[in-house]
Chains A and B, each alone.
Chain A
Amino acid sequence: MMSKPVLPRRTMIEAIREAMDVMMERDDKVVVFGQDVGFFGGVFRCTEGLQRKYGEARCFDTPISETGIVGVAVGMGAYGLRPVAEIQFADYVYPAYDQIVSEAARLRFRSAGDYTAPMVIRMPCGGGIFGAQTHSQSPEALFTHVAGLQTIIPSNPYDAKGLLISAIENDDPVIFLEPKRLYNGPFNGHYDQPVVPWSKHALSETPEGYYSVPIGKAAIRRKGSAVTVLAYGTMVHVAEAAVTETGIDAEVIDLRSLVPLDIETITASVAKTGRCVIVHEATRLSGFGTQLAAEVQERCFYQLEAPILRVTGWDTPYPHAHEWDYFPGPERVGRALMQVMEA
């Protein structure tokens, strides 16, 4: 009997770096740039070694100008390159918002396909790291609302590599959000417990070389029949912990791709369970959970046994000292699970 081949275990950081390495090797039109991305290898080490391997014309540092970074990426994409631009923190993407919304997202449509923006904008996002107001935000709803953008957020090294490869191959602009709390290990919201490294987690096994994870396909992380939990990013791990701790037989769905959304997987699950809890770190008002709740309500109304609940960040700027009062941890998610089961 053949033993299962042992795959290399990678952290999110290594998986993301590997994805760029693989694509730079395969396609010489792939270029990587951003603040401190070149010589230094990125403030999170995600691009370490790429400049040494591919040269300065393929991986380089940029001035501190988000609109410049994204603006030149749009120009490079129009020329025929495949830029992978990094915004150091998602919290700093706002100066580039015009280039993202008005240009990258609209270019194919407004030019009837004359010009396209085959680019990826990577940005570390999310809280749980005492990053406070400008190192913790989850701005995904600002992108999911924009026609022409695809928005992706992985929750583990296997997906991070496969999805980033898909994003780089994609011919449309992709917002690639990387939960920085997950860079070095999974995090279930139990901040008082020791950090577990990725090497202990099954999804840190990532094949060498090229493979892809399709954009627009959710993953069921835990099969269950009592309630559907829709989550993404760090909240996938929080939801899994909450399910274990409450003992409720929940089905945990990791959306992975917010736009396009895997509506089949969501509706099939809610049709089965009749209950739905949505979990995200981002603030609540007009957050992506609002969209998810509306989709489930419209498509699964007659199967629903209880109101759809959302567990989200509060509608405040992300605080520093009150990190764990703000962050939607397993206890809050667990309460919502119990509440939805009581209905």
Chain B
Amino acid sequence: MSYPPLSLHMPRTMRGESVPPPNPHLRFAGAGEMRRPPVDSDPYDMHDLAYNLVRVLDDDGEAKGEWVPDLTAEQLRHGLRSMLKTRAYDRRMMRMQRQGQTSFYMQCTGEEAIACAFQMVMQKGDMNFPTYRQQGLLIAQGFPLTDMICQVLSNEKDHLKGRQLPVMYSAPEAGFFSISGNLGTQFVQAVGWAMASAMRGDTKIAAGWIGDGSTAESDFHAALVFASVYRPPVVLNIVNNQWAISSPQSVAGGENISFASRAHGFAIPSLRVDGNDYLAVYAAASWAAERARRNLGPTLIEWVTYRVAPHSTSDDPSKYRPKEEELNWPLGDPVERLKQHLIRKGEWSEERNVQLLAGIDAEINDAAREALKYGTLHEGPKASPATMFEDVYKDMPQHLREQRQQMGY
């Protein structure tokens, strides 16, 4: 018997199509439809939650169902403020990059709810292992914007002394681990940090962060297997923004399966959550953090969202995806959705929103003006080149002392 010639499957690229593609295995439930299992659930009893979508806010801005979190109006307004501030900060940094004050920037437009709401469930001493697109973790906790801008500008007051590419922040006082350019590495480090907390009988938890594209990295799998084996207190977050630079999530293995379901092979409970729904993010993050704090082990969460902005300032999405695709994104804009919810509750108004935006702009202008006093990448003071030999090791070895001398210091 003869067989027809073999052919290689190339994932549906979604180019020219609206996202997400229709997939009978992956559903977007309506708000409030998904159940909220107990935090001590057996992972085998919650497989359904990895193929659907936990949503709280409906299209009219009403909070529905078992996942409605217990948040005060003030907490919700804080969330709105954090997201708006993150978005405004991104816009301002983009402008600084376009004006040549720095070399590079990466926005998180459309993804603000995930980091901003998640940070609200972290406690002092806990540790995030972020990627380069979780600036909201810092902004939501009121981290000084000037310090962040100084890092982006690599200026005299850059805490990292001009060593790191812009946006690769490090802030131990904010529970924010040093960002690396190497994708996926921090995911397994978060597991190790959480293992250490458990080994020491501590009460702190860790959170790992990764994008949809980077789930293909081997460290993603290493993180899951170590989390599965030792069950440390870690929340493993996958931010599925549909795009890894120009590659759609189908190329990362998401064509016919959710990223949340990856956890099932490791007996780790997982959730698939509307990442543009501030309330759903807070609720799911609380659920997973509570599991971790009660020593019930890790949770994997896929946050379904959309990368509205270009990948970075060096990227042009019009070359690979339909223009205005983000407008057709079914989960909308996280900022608008929370705003609508607050207005519906009678806790917000368009007027207050305008005032808030003006206040945020002023705050960012002040921070930018302050940061610019300490120079930019190309102008003004920066750390002495002699500092580039420091911190390679705790004590500077002879060969580095010699090289520093050769440079004239």
A interface residues with partner B (beta carbon < 8 Å): 31, 57-58, 62-63, 65, 67-68, 71-76, 78-81, 95, 98-99, 102-103, 106-116, 147-148, 150, 171-172, 216, 259-261, 263
In the assembled complex, how far is the CB of residue B275 from the closest CB belonging to chain A, in whole angstroms?
25
- B195: A residues at CB distance < 8 A: 72, 75-76
B28 within 8 A of A: no
Q: Are A71 and B192 in contact (CB under 8 A)?
A: yes
Contact residues in A for B159 (Cβ distance below 8 Å): 112
Q: How far is the CB of B194 from chain A (nearest CB, A)?
A: 8
- Whether the Cβ atoms of A75 and B161 lie closer than 8 Å is no
Min CB gap A327→B, angstroms:
30
Contacts of A109 in B (CB 8 A): 163, 391-392
Q: Does B295 contact A (CB under 8 A)?
A: no
CB atoms of A171 and B163 under 8 A apart: no
Q: Count residues of chain B with CB under 8 A from any CB of chain A.
A: 45
Q: Which residue, of B188, B225, B229, has the highest number of chain A Cβ atoms within 10 A?
A: B188
Q: Is B177 an interface residue (CB 8 A)?
A: yes
Residues from chain B with a CB closer than 8 A to the CB of A114 are 170-172, 178
Structural contact, A75 and B393, CB atoms closer than 8 A: no
B218 within 8 A of A: yes
- For A66, the closest partner residue in chain B by CB is B222
B168 lies within 8 A of chain A by Cβ? yes
> Contact at A102–B182, with CB atoms within 8 Å?
yes
B399 in the interface (beta carbon within 8 A): yes
Check if B393 sits within 8 Å of A148, measured CB to CB: yes
In the complex the two chains form, what is the Cα distance from A103 to B219 in whole Å? 12
A81 to B163, CA, bound (A): 26
State which of A63, A150, A263 has its C-beta within 8 Å of the C-beta of B393.
A150
Assess whether B222 is in contact with A71, with CB atoms less than 8 Å apart. yes
B229 shortest CB reach to chain A, Å? 6
Q: Which of B127, B188, B196, B397 has a CB less than 8 Å from the CB of A67? A: B188
Q: CB within 8 Å of A: which of B159-185?
A: 159-161, 163-164, 168, 170-172, 177-178, 180-182, 185
Contact A110 B172 (CB under 8 A): no
Q: Name the residue of chain B whose CB is nearest to the CB of A75.
A: B192
Q: Can you show 5 pairs from A to B with CB atoms below 8 A apart?
A: A71-B192, A72-B192, A75-B190, A75-B206, A76-B199
The yes or no answer to B189 lying at the interface (CB within 8 A) is yes
Q: Is the CB of B163 within 8 A of A110?
A: yes
Q: Closest B residue to A61 by CB, please name it.
A: B229
